[in-house]
Amino acid sequence: MALLAAAAAAILAACLLGSTPLPPARMLAALGGGGEPGDAVVVWAIRLPRALAAFAVGLGLGASGAALQGLLRNPLAEPGVLGVSASAALAATFTLHYGLAAAFAPLLPLSAVAGALAATALIALAALRTASAVALILVGVGLSSFAGALTALLMNLAPNPFTLADMVNWMLGSVANKSFDDLLLAAPFLLPGLALLFASRRGLSALTLGEEAAAGVGLDLKRQRLLVVLGAGLATGACVAVAGAIGFVGIVAPHLVRPFVAHDPARTLLPSALLAGLFLVVADIGVRVLPTEAELKLGVVAALVGAPLFALIALSARRTPA
C-alpha cells in the first residue's frame, strides 16, 4: 500500500514538475477537465502519458525480474537474461536502419513486440525441451549475445548519421513524447504478460525447495517455466516497445523488496513491480527538471543508479548462496 501511494504521488508530481512548473491548483483543474486550455494540453497530452508510460514500463520490468529470479533461483537474473530485451531492440533497430519506421510510425513499437515474441517463442521451446534452469539461462545468454551483435552490426552499417542517431537514441531508452496511443498499443501485450507472471506465483514459492522437491509436491516444472518465460517475454517486449532499452530496473527492484517479504518469490512480484514503476517515474522527473542542455535519456539515468546497486548485489551474491 505504501508503494502504491508513493507511485500515485509520484505520478501527480510528474504532472506538476517540468521545465515550467505548474501550480497545484491549475494542475488539479486541468486533470478535472477544467482550467486553461494550455494547462490541459500540458497535463493530458505531455506529462500524464509520459508518467504513466514510465510507470507501466517499470511494472513490466519489475514483475519480470522478480519472476525470473524466482524461476531460476538466481538473484542476479533480470528480463534481459533470456535475450528478450535484446531481440526486441534488434527488431526495432532493424526498422530504423531501413527507414521503415519513417514510412509507418507504429511499425517501430510493433516490430519491438514482434522481436520479443520471436525470442519468447524460442525460449519457450527451450523451456519445454530442457529439464535444467541452467540450460535455459545459457540459451538466453546466447540469444542475447547474438541479438546484441546483430544490433551492433546494423548500427555499424547505418546508412547516414541521422539514422545512426535515431538508433542510438532508441537504445538509450526514453519515454519522452509518449502518448496514450503508445500505451494502448502496448497494453494488449503488457497486461497478458503480467497476468501470466502473477498466475505463476505459487509455483515460484514451490521452487524455493529446489526443482526436484517442487516436482515431488506436484509442480509441473515445464508448465511453470512456460508461464514465466511467456509472461516475461510479453511484458518485456511491451516495455521495449514503449521506452526502448532500459536496464537494471528488473534486477534491482526485486532485490530491494525481498527482505521485506521474507524472501518469498510469490510475495515479491507485486512490490517489485510497484517499486520499479515508482523508480522510473521519479527518474523521469529528474530527467525533465535537471538543467542540462540536452535532456538525459531515462535508460542512462536508470543505469547510473542501477549499475552500482548491481555491483553490490553481485558482491553480496558471492558471499551468500543464491
Q: What is the pLDDT of residues 249-269, one digit of tens each?
A: 998 999 899 989 989 999 999
User: In terms of pTM, does the model score above 0.75?
Assistant: yes
Structural domains of the chain ordered from first start? 2-10+81-319 (1.10.3470.10)
Residue 320 clears pLDDT 70, i.e. is over it: no
Q: What is the pLDDT of residues 91-143, one digit of tens each?
A: 999 999 998 988 887 888 889 888 988 888 888 788 777 767 778 788 888 99
Counting runs of H as helices and runs of E as strands, what totals does the chain give?
Answer: 16, 0
Q: What is the pLDDT of residues 77-86, one digit of tens each?
A: 788 778 888 9
Residues 6+ positions from 257 with CB-CB distance below 8 Å:
66, 268, 271, 272, 275
Among 39-53, 100-114, 275-289, where is mean pLDDT lowest? 100-114
pLDDT at position 321 is 46
- In the numeric block, which cell numbers belong to residue 7? 507511485
- In the numeric block, which cell numbers belong to residue 183? 500505451
| Cα distance between residue 78 and residue 282, in whole Å | 21
Answer for the pair 65, 250: CB distance below 8 angstroms, yes or no.
Answer: yes
